[in-house]
Structure 1
């Protein structure tokens, strides 16, 4: 936090400063206790006045009188008999003194008329120019006046010894006797607030309160732990909060003064208030977790209950019928206690709820899903009938409330939901309930805690899932789970005031529902607790009695309605951009590198400080936030107008605070950059275009050559598969079979050869074929070779479990040359009976650090092995076919940016006892495809 300090070396007469005042032109007058007056003007300390008639001026108070704009005066005094009067401008009138001898000057104040009045030990004096005139007040003698406070009706209050006077039009119109202590009752400070309540202090005795229209003095200081503290000043702010400063204990703020709260510290037997009701004109009956209390004339007393409950006298409910009070309490027996307390007739019994009908029946609610009915009140509870509410069984279901409406419907609130009933007599003369329920309404089909009928023929219900109302005339139900974002679940109690507004007690606070608008009070706004357990409206005093889990409150409805919650004002506390922090928020301009901007702000609301929320807009949309800071990352260049609004509990949104700032563009965002780009494009564009066309042509030529080579290899592969040696040998075998008169074998041999050649010709133009077709072709080829070599080898084809050969496509003409190579150079040369295995499986393979599923084809034989075969192997059509397939797969891999797919392995290299060769062909996507059964593989891949 930045600050400036001024000391004697800067020009002050003394470092002991006791008073200050602001001049008419913004200068600051500084009162030194024994060294006169300095003035701070244009950043420079000057001596204003330090002597008067050769004597040092001692200053305890400074007061500026600007009522005469042409002759503004500065008053300085110390509590002695003289008042120093200095013209604010040194030119012109000379300073002078006003002498109040033999009286001592205590304070200079303003009257409601604007006149200056001096409060002295000998009464009040009007200060007019360079003279003083005693203020004549009818009904007030020349008593010592210690303090003055103006009211809002042109009257004012004077604090004196043992008395407060209210004065209007020159006469005392009211007196308040202040006789609280034996030794000292001087009223040394006083404030009349906007509601005409009086706040006053007694020297070192705390502070006190007199409500408007009352003579009763309430000791608030003692309740706040300030009973022996000097409260030396009061201030009422724009929200109506009362601020008070103390000597040694800091500053206090009293807010939401329409609420008065009481707790165990004030005499309650328990802070848990379960039920409240007005008794007569002066008494309040308060049912608590620990007995029945009576509040009368500000004093709590507890009604003695002779119960058999060893733990506590828990009050469930209190009802009033015909000036008699019925108290539901945990007595521990079936006894009905009838007692009186200061003229109140009380009945006490062990039930949860109670109702007396217009027909004179007494209804009692139990914890076991029943209503007990009794025709008269006696010393013992002997019901003549018991009726179940939900179903016909005794179950754990509390009956929380029983109410009879104006149409004689009996409403029963239970833990399982709401029941509407009517009473009738059965054949045995017992009462029964004709019941109806509300399963179609979730609010009424869950736990209900309270029932209330208002003046508009609506019956209201409060419960676990919200509130609801039933209109008696229209037989209609309206439910409210929330209104204007306020959640009504966990509602406990109801009350209706003189305006027929509905007050709702809830475990989250207190709500006032008026049409479709809601006001909300909770612990932040002055309630003792958020958990409101009970409500009662006192129509005589127009007040709401509020029972909570931490004490009770009395809400003055008139004051509450008059209270205008002021929206909090937004102020900016800090702006950061990059590494810079700004304190002046006018015409902010940020450099191009300062595109990350942080803005801290605040909106103080003393009445509910924790309820402030914010709304801001940087472009077109308003956004809400609970945080008092905003961070904008990488803002584009341009001019911005950030608007921020604040809202507290029960207030409207404040006027937007507008923070304007500009983010300068980077060079690449300026018009100069675009002009440079246009220039470069015009000068170098044609060359770049020509180069691009040339490179594209080279690339196209390479791709064309690659495609042509692949097509050429396809035809060579077909030729390899149709090699003349194989055909000639096959024809020789056919001739042998014919000469040997094995005509059927010869026919089969010719048929297989024809089928194989037809398959090769049918698939010759296709880039990819189904794996099932390739396997069929391999089987034909191997069966033909088995006939030629007279069963000198066997073969097996293995297909993985998860592999569907009808949907997998592989490149055409890639397997047969490897099978033929294994057969001719591996198995036939070994001279032993051979085994040839072709296996197809899916495996996860690491390709460039990425795990992918590849189709693995393994061609394995138990022949002489690749190393031995190479020693006497000559270039033939088989080797040529393998080279063609290797080159074709290599070109496909290159075109698709894949790794090389073929690996040859001599099995003797891994196991000395093994022999043979294994060829592994790895086909990662997209060297194999998966398609539907109905798809044509010839159109699936265009390679």
Structure 2
């Protein structure tokens, strides 16, 4: 996009050519010169340059020859060109040609249907329609013949079927109707039966009537019939264009004349013959009641609302010899102008009118602006002073006639006398009078005149010059230092006296307040106050002013500040509503008390609740705003910039309320696929990368668009009109996008919903499959545990069977044949020895012992007390047999209750029997057998457990000697069975080694015997 301001054709140069031709006649020369000067004056009265954007084919427009412009219902602006159609969003053009479905590239007219479909009129190849994002052929032939098209017209009539009128100037009208039942029908409306031979334009009024401008005047067009309109004062001749006003009036354009019609009569005539004796080809009445018109090949012109003055804007934009094809006002109030061969122009922000060096300004850098009582505007620039009146710039000249060309520091107006600080070579004050305006010019940076009549001059050396007379050079200087007592590099930028007679000194090093001023005997005194802790007032201050609320305001390098004279309080603003206020140059207040701030980043309007910002992107000649002046009578704000001066109409600006731009989704790209329809978007699992292109339609200030979006969480700001989402997961997503332009609010969000299908590994079925697999593994594990448990149970059963088998073996062992044989021998011996009573006791004891064995044979465990009784019976029998060759003792060492504790059955007697027969009987000494029961702490797998310990001790020959005397083939079945039983029990109950045998001689060689534990 190119923003340009074209140079105007200099009327002076044209005058010079005329003078050169007429040098032969002095009188004619003088006359021509007078006429030329008058013409120059008239033309310069309205020599303003509008703010505009210029678009050509180099910017993406299909062609620089543009025939028609429309704005579709969705907000896009479309251009019909000689090389296709272009769609524009304010930033980018999208172009459509034959390859996109057009019948030809030469599109001369466009129209929009009821449902938003667009119709494109080809010059010689019928009509195309854009519907559902696709261009198709709509209508090509009538009665087998092609028809020429210059215009397309669709009346806004919702009661009847839609009718498209396709017509040319001399070829009549083709009415095309499309019915859902009957299909296409067309009617040829011929001009042969009328008094007219040409139709220039069909226009629909707000009341629904259709007016035709023709070769025979104005006609009412209804149901295919033409009815002559009788307008008093309107000739029955060629009328080329027609437009409706806002008060029931109309404008009709003919050759070199514009007729203003109301109540069926001409009420005003605009004679434009001096701009071209040709037909007024187009005329337009905008929403601000301005009249725009163009003359064939003579550019275009402008009549401001409420004025009869004609402004040749075309010449200012280099279009003085160009053909304008169409005027169009978009929904933002911008005026679009299409041309033949020179592209389109968008005249934006029409509340601004700008002037620069091409308009006669001596220099584009404007440092100071003031107003003289008669209405003249005094403008100080980098190259002298300009007097601006009725749009005309005149240079201020010295008394010797030469223009003032010095750099202007500033201009102050006191009592309609202007005091100008300039960069003079000498320091004398020079008085210049021009047009009865007095200027005092001096080589100092700033100036003020107090209510007490003191003249204050600011220097660059940290002091002000104070004097009661203006010409301080002749009267002598009285220096008053600001920050020190000696000259120092510190420029005084501004001097201002407030309503309480305080003088404020704005310097490069900060602000100083002077109060209690007195001047006597050429001595100036004042109390100085500084603001070292304030971030704004302790730095460079450029400008000081006062509002009507008793506040003194300051503009400086770090922002702005406000000093309240009533409370002596300071409020500083370095940033306001997100806008950086640093590098502020000047300020003023309008009728509503709003603050206008000149800043190096643009022009700010601050009303306390919000802030608006204007810059080079919104119509100002430059974003570097250097000076301001408010004309309260006209409610105009003069804005001096580094590239010219602008006049801002505050009334129009307040009426211009930029609406938030709507966000439109342009394209969605997912994977390798591109989508232009955005309802119910569903992407495959492989389409994880999604790119979204969107735009916000804004044509007034397209470079100021900001976006923010919300996808998953908070809002995120961006300056880009596209979003890339990479490696998205499966699921349903909602994207919200909002936009705002300069000085507008955020728009309502535009929503885009889409779904990414999951991969199989992300589906419910996959997770269900995983769950089933886990369940199967779990079941397998359970079955394995059950199997292991069964094996364990079987092993336990086998163990129990083995234990039961051992029980039977133990039962058999109880009836040891050796014991029984010896017992019977003993009974026999007693009987033979006539010791019948003892034999009888022996038999009784033996019977009792056998009875005990039989009673407990089926029990795996037996009470300790029962075991002791059985042991006593056995030992008493053996003692009776061996005639007291041994004695025994049974000891309960820990005195536990033996009647409640159980031990495995028949595990003690075999060891007792072994001690007797293999230990004591063979020892040759009287034996002693000790059986003890006690509880002791036993370490089982690092766990201390309380366990029953049974000790069987004898003083026999010892286990080692007994093993030597034992026969090789002797097998102690009882001992083996007990050992196996106790081993099985120890494995089952996780007990330590159950039996320990020890020869007592190992402990002490003087002892003998065996201990069984």
After superposition, the C-alpha distances for 1:678-711 in whole angstroms (9 at most, x for unaligned) are 222222247679999xxxxxxxxxxxxxxxxxxx
Separation in structure 1 between the aligned mates of residue 178 and residue 775 of structure 2, nearest angstrom: 74
After superposition, the C-alpha distances for 1:640-659 in whole angstroms (9 at most, x for unaligned) are 11111111111111111111
Q: What secondary structure does 1:610 align onto?
A: helix
Q: What secondary structure does 1:222 align onto?
A: helix
1:423 and 1:336, CA in 2 relative to 1: closer, same or farther beyond 3 A?
farther
What TM-score, normalized to structure 2?
A: 0.63
Separation in structure 2 between the aligned mates of residue 594 and residue 56 of structure 1, nearest angstrom: 47
Q: Which residue of 2 aligns with 1:335?
A: 428
Deviation at 1:100, TM superposition (A): 4.5
Q: Which residue of 2 aligns with 1:147?
A: 241
Separation in structure 1 between the aligned mates of residue 171 and residue 767 of structure 2, nearest angstrom: 81
Deviation at 1:606, TM superposition (A): 1.8
1:348 aligns with 2:438: no
Deviation at 1:2, TM superposition (A): 10
After superposition, the C-alpha distances for 1:184-241 in whole angstroms (9 at most, x for unaligned) are 2532212222111222212212222222222222222222222211111011111111
Q: Which residue of 1 aligns with 2:931?
A: none
1:532 and 1:40, CA in 2 relative to 1: closer, same or farther beyond 3 A?
closer
Counterpart pick for 2:169 among 58, 68, 79: 79
1:44 and 1:267, CA in 2 relative to 1: closer, same or farther beyond 3 A?
closer
Q: Which residue of 2 aligns with 1:283?
A: 376
Q: What secondary structure does 2:735 align onto?
A: strand
Separation in structure 1 between the aligned mates of residue 297 and residue 523 of structure 2, nearest angstrom: 70
Counterpart pick for 1:109 among 203, 222, 228: 203
1:464 aligns with 2:557: yes
CA contact (8 A) 2:124 2:148 kept: yes
Counterpart pick for 2:752 among 633, 645, 659: 659
Deviation at 1:75, TM superposition (A): 3.6
Deviation at 1:373, TM superposition (A): 1.9
After superposition, the C-alpha distances for 1:564-606 in whole angstroms (9 at most, x for unaligned) are 1122221223322233332322211122232222222222322
1:60 aligns with 2:155: no
1:443-842 alignment, distance < 5 Å: 443-685=536-778
Separation in structure 1 between the aligned mates of residue 189 and residue 333 of structure 2, nearest angstrom: 40
Separation in structure 1 between the aligned mates of residue 521 and residue 295 of structure 2, nearest angstrom: 74
1:615 and 1:691, CA in 2 relative to 1: closer, same or farther beyond 3 A?
farther
Separation in structure 2 between the aligned mates of residue 22 and residue 518 of structure 1, nearest angstrom: 38
Separation in structure 2 between the aligned mates of residue 187 and residue 422 of structure 1, nearest angstrom: 67
1:535 and 1:383, CA in 2 relative to 1: closer, same or farther beyond 3 A?
farther
1:282-431 alignment, distance < 5 Å: 282-305=375-398, 312-378=405-471, 382-422=475-515, 424-425=517-518, 428-431=521-524
1:83 and 1:676, CA in 2 relative to 1: closer, same or farther beyond 3 A?
closer
1:167 and 1:112, CA in 2 relative to 1: closer, same or farther beyond 3 A?
farther
CA contact (8 A) 2:128 2:137 kept: no
1:445 and 1:684, CA in 2 relative to 1: closer, same or farther beyond 3 A?
same
User: Which region of structure 1 is more displaced relative to structure 2, 308-317 or 189-198?
Assistant: 308-317
Separation in structure 1 between the aligned mates of residue 341 and residue 693 of structure 2, nearest angstrom: 33
CA contact (8 A) 1:50 1:57 kept: no
Counterpart pick for 1:200 among 274, 293, 296: 293
1:861-872 alignment, distance < 5 Å: none
Separation in structure 1 between the aligned mates of residue 574 and residue 217 of structure 2, nearest angstrom: 63
Deviation at 1:554, TM superposition (A): 0.9
CA contact (8 A) 1:353 1:364 kept: yes
1:223 aligns with 2:313: no
After superposition, the C-alpha distances for 1:493-514 in whole angstroms (9 at most, x for unaligned) are 1111111111111111111111
Q: Which residue of 2 aligns with 1:806?
A: none
Separation in structure 2 between the aligned mates of residue 74 and residue 85 of structure 1, nearest angstrom: 6
Counterpart pick for 1:249 among 342, 349, 364: 342
Separation in structure 2 between the aligned mates of residue 31 and residue 594 of structure 1, nearest angstrom: 40
CA contact (8 A) 1:613 1:624 kept: yes
CA contact (8 A) 1:281 1:540 kept: no
Separation in structure 2 between the aligned mates of residue 525 and residue 399 of structure 1, nearest angstrom: 33
CA contact (8 A) 1:469 1:477 kept: yes
Separation in structure 2 between the aligned mates of residue 31 and residue 254 of structure 1, nearest angstrom: 26
Deviation at 1:360, TM superposition (A): 1.9
**Greater relative contact order: 1 or 2 (C-alpha under 8 angstroms, separation 6 or more)?**
2
| Number of equivalenced pairs | 685
Deviation at 1:116, TM superposition (A): 1.0
State the structure with more CA Rg.
2
CA contact (8 A) 2:140 2:146 kept: no
Q: Which residue of 2 aligns with 1:158?
A: 252
CA contact (8 A) 2:396 2:403 kept: no
1:133 aligns with 2:223: no
1:230 and 1:326, CA in 2 relative to 1: closer, same or farther beyond 3 A?
same
Deviation at 1:82, TM superposition (A): 5.0
Q: Which residue of 1 aligns with 2:922?
A: none
Deviation at 1:23, TM superposition (A): 5.8
Q: Say what the alpha-carbon RMSD is for the aligned residues.
A: 3.4
Q: Which residue of 1 aligns with 2:63?
A: none
After superposition, the C-alpha distances for 1:380-428 in whole angstroms (9 at most, x for unaligned) are 5644522111121111111111111111111111111111113533663
User: Which region of structure 1 is more displaced relative to structure 2, 412-421 or 63-72?
Assistant: 63-72
After superposition, the C-alpha distances for 1:841-863 in whole angstroms (9 at most, x for unaligned) are xxxxxxxxxxxxxxxxxxxxxxx
1:355 and 1:383, CA in 2 relative to 1: closer, same or farther beyond 3 A?
farther
Q: Which residue of 2 aligns with 1:237?
A: 330
User: Which region of structure 1 is more displaced relative to structure 2, 90-99 or 283-292?
Assistant: 90-99
After superposition, the C-alpha distances for 1:855-903 in whole angstroms (9 at most, x for unaligned) are xxxxxxxxxxxxxxxxxxxxxxxxxxxxxxxxxxxxxxxxxxxxxxxxx
1:15 and 1:333, CA in 2 relative to 1: closer, same or farther beyond 3 A?
closer
Separation in structure 2 between the aligned mates of residue 677 and residue 578 of structure 1, nearest angstrom: 30
After superposition, the C-alpha distances for 1:270-308 in whole angstroms (9 at most, x for unaligned) are 111110112234421110001001111222111113699
1:60 and 1:268, CA in 2 relative to 1: closer, same or farther beyond 3 A?
same
CA contact (8 A) 1:417 1:446 kept: yes
1:238 and 1:434, CA in 2 relative to 1: closer, same or farther beyond 3 A?
same
Instruction: For structure 1, list consecutive stretches of 5 or more residues without a partner in the other structure.
Output: 693-943
Deviation at 1:444, TM superposition (A): 0.4
